[in-house]
Amino acid sequence: MQVDSPERVTAKLYDLLPPVDQKIYDAIKKDAKDEGCFILKTTFQNLYQRVKSFCTQSDGQNKIRCYVCGLCWFPNGLAINFRQFKCLVPILKSTTNSMLQKLGFNSTKCLPKHTNYLMEYLPELISDPRERKSWTIYEFVAATPMISTETIVLQAALSPEPMADPPVTQESDFQKAPAPQDIDSFFDDPFSLPPIFLVEDAQNGPLETSYGGF
């Protein structure tokens, strides 16, 4: 079975777009096709912004544009029809999901409030529950900040520091140089007194040397 290439697939209700809108739609589709299947985050973000600007104008035609493009927005989120969106941006569903997550959107369960938003924005879906199920809900969540060097340094500064020994000052006993001693006061220490015979000899005068009776 032959499968139509993305550029040959026509989005549902495309013919209901005014000629000027068809021209803008085709230009976005061509640029997306030229990027190929491997679309970077910055490229997808640019395409996403172009589609959003195209779909959210102030002329009362936003509903048909959103349906054809496969994207519509509600407070703090969006709904996407992957089949319709792939006609405009020919990338895989998994790639689209990954790119939306990088932009801060996470898929979530369709709650009654989401259904109300979707049917209010696209009344055509009220009578077609099957078509309504083809829209996936995404909510915008705050991106988790990456750990930076500054954060690591701050955390290290706030952590308890080990107790450090007090610095050794210049007056430490281990660094004092021995003070020069006065030779006259050397014997002030009772443990350093000279032998008694030296004291007696000093009192009796100089010793006489004898050379064997000569």
The DSSP code sequence of 12-65 is: TTGGGS-HHHHHHHHHHHHHHHHH-S---HHHHHHHHHHHHHHHS-SSS-HHHH
Quote the strand ranges of 141-179, DSSP E: none
- 82 closest CA partner among 11, 15, 5: 11
Averaged pLDDT, 162-176: 54
Query: Which one is predicted more confidently, 182 or 126?
Result: 126
- Give the span between the Cα atoms of 144 and 212, in whole angstroms: 110
pLDDT digits (tens, 9 = 90+) for 28-84: 999 998 876 567 888 999 999 999 999 999 998 999 999 999 999 998 999 999 999
- Sorted by where each begins, the domain ranges of the chain are 6-140
| pLDDT at position 140 | 95
- 38 closest CA partner among 81, 92, 86: 92
Averaged pLDDT, 155-181: 52
- Give the span between the Cα atoms of 137 and 142, in whole angstroms: 17
pLDDT of residue 171 exceeding 90, the answer is no
Q: Which residues pair with 81 in a beta bridge?
A: 135
Q: Which two tokens stand for residue 152?
A: 């690591």
- Give the span between the Cα atoms of 7 and 150, in whole angstroms: 48
Q: What's CA 92's distance to the chain center, in Å?
A: 27
Q: Which two tokens stand for residue 26?
A: 């085709």
Confidence of residue 201 (pLDDT cuts 50, 70, 90): low
- Give the span between the Cα atoms of 65 and 70, in whole angstroms: 8
* CA angle, residues 89, 70, 117, in degrees to nearest 5: 150
For the chain, helix, strand, coil in percent to 5 are 50, 10, 40
Least confident window among 57-66, 114-123, 152-161, 194-203: 152-161
| pLDDT at position 34 | 86
What is the pLDDT of the chain when averaged over all its residues? 75
Q: How far is CA 92 from CA 13, 95, 140, 175, in A?
A: 22, 5, 21, 76
